[in-house]
Amino acid sequence: MATKLIHTGFVVENLGWAISFYRDAVGLEILREREFTGNEISQVVGYEDAHLKMAMLGIPGEESHALELIQYLNPASSDRTTSERSAQGASHVAFRVDDIEETFRCLVANGAQQLNPPVYVPPNRSACYLQDPDGNWIELLQRD
């Protein structure tokens, strides 16, 4: 039985660019960065001669759920076959924000692809979906 929710992981094309997006536009802080090679990581991910770069990011001052960004150097990442949110296996990460309109504009200005602008969802919140520059889904939520 699970005892704690630790992190959500996204595969990205370029770790440096992804870190910049989530740090500068979303406002997360880098908790740690690592590079993995060797037998152990190959066994964990199930790829022979695996080579990964990883960064964990989180909300400043909050020790809870983190976002793990992974760049596969070997094997190289392949393009996603669909960007549909309804596809089995599709995922997203949700962030509670103070100003959804401003956050939405900031993310789009920093390379996010918008699905819809923020909308009011009764009884007391606003929400929207976007995709980060690698096509990973982001949900923004603001409690009114």
What CATH number should be reported for the domain holding residue 132? 3.10.180.10
24 and 56 housed in the same domain: yes
**pTM to 2 decimals?**
0.88
- The whole-chain average pLDDT of the chain stands at 91
Taking CA atoms, 144 is separated from 13, 97, 104, 126, 129, in Å, by 35, 11, 16, 7, 18
pLDDT of residue 90: 76
Total domains in the chain come to 2
In whole angstroms, give the CA distance from residue 110 to residue 121: 26
**For residue 130, what are the domain limits?**
92-143
In whole angstroms, give the CA distance from residue 6 to residue 18: 20
pLDDT in tens, 13-30: 999 999 999 999 999 999
**Of 88, 133, 134, which is closest to residue 107 (Cα–Cα)?**
133
